[in-house]
């Protein structure tokens, strides 16, 4: 398995595809498929059967998976898209934004 540079809770910007330019928070990451679910991005309509949880059933809007290669982390300092690097700081391995050299 590959190590992904985007984790749940990160704020990202979509760099390619139908939702290019959209920003949101990563809700979950699927490592096997190299995809993530981003809040408010790539919304799809899903038909749901009536159940105990949803007795009415019907059409529900929800987020679908989007490929990691189309996502870029937002730099906490400047608010621009940035790449992610790893380095040792004070004996700990940390992620940092390559644009501002700030720890994420």
Is residue 60 one of the residues assigned to a domain? Answer: yes
Name the domain count of the chain.
Answer: 1
Distance CA 12, CA 34 (A): 15
Q: State which residues of the chain have pLDDT below 70.
A: 1
> What's the confidence (pLDDT) of residue 1?
61
* Cα 88 versus chain centre, distance: 24
Q: What is the pTM of this model?
A: 0.82
- Structural domain boundaries, residue 32: 11-74
pLDDT per residue as tens digits for the range 54-63: 899 899 999 9
Is residue 66 one of the residues assigned to a domain? Answer: yes
For the domain that residue 24 is a member of, what is the CATH number?
2.30.30.30
């Amino acid at each position: 398995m590959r190590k992904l540079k985007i984790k749940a809770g990160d704020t990202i910007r979509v760099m390619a595809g139908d939702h290019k330019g959209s920003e949101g928070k990563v809700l979950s990451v699927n490592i096997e498929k190299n995809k993530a679910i981003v809040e408010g991005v790539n919304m799809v309509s899903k038909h749901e059967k009536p159940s105990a949880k949803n007795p009415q059933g019907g059409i529900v809007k929800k987020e679908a998976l989007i490929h990691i290669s189309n996502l870029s982390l937002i730099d906490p300092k400047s608010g621009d898209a940035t790449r992610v690097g790893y380095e040792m700081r004070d004996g700990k391995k940390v992620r940092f934004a390559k644009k501002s050299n700030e720890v994420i």
